[in-house]
Structures are given as structure tokens and as C-alpha cells.
Amino acid sequence: MQNTVNRVELGTIVCRHCQAVIGTQDTEKVAFYYAACEKEDCRKKEQAAEGR
Ligand SMILES: [Zn+2]
């Protein structure tokens, strides 16, 4: 009997500006999370979106 923990990372974190995959996250179902990646261009867009 194997005692392996099946941790499947179903959550994908995607940059909302350039669609780059930033990372993954353990979630119970398939989901996409949108954030801003570290590109300067995307950070500027993110700040512009927040600063309204
Ligand atoms: Zn980006």
C-alpha cells in the first residue's frame, strides 16, 4: 500500500496582461488566477488599473 500524497496543482496563476504562467497553486478544482507578473510593462499596467 502506497502512502503517497497526491497533490495535484490545479490552480494556475496567469499574468492578466501577458498571459504568462506565474505559478501554480493547490486547489480543489481547476481554476485560473489572474495576477501581474514581474515584467515592468505588466506592473505598470497593474498600477494603472489600480490607480483609478
Ligand atoms: Zn505579464
Taking only the tens place, the pLDDT of each residue in 4-23 is 666 677 999 999 999 999 99
Helix, strand, coil shares of the chain, percent, nearest 5, are 20, 30, 50
Percent of the chain with pLDDT over 70: 83
The pTM assigned to this predicted structure is: 0.70
Would you say residue 3 has pLDDT above 80? no
Edge-to-edge strand list for the sheet holding 21-25 = 21-25, 11-15, 31-35
Residue 36 domain-assigned (yes or no): yes
Percent of the chain with pLDDT over 90: 65
Tell me, in angstroms, the distance from the centre of ligand 1 to residue 16's CA: 7
Q: What separation in Å is there between the alpha carbon of 3 and the centre of ligand 1?
A: 39
Q: How high does pLDDT run on average in the chain?
A: 88
Domain that holds residue 35: 11-50
pLDDT reading at 48 higher than 90: yes
Give how many domains the chain has, as a whole number.
1
| Residue 5 included in any domain | no
15 in a structural domain: yes
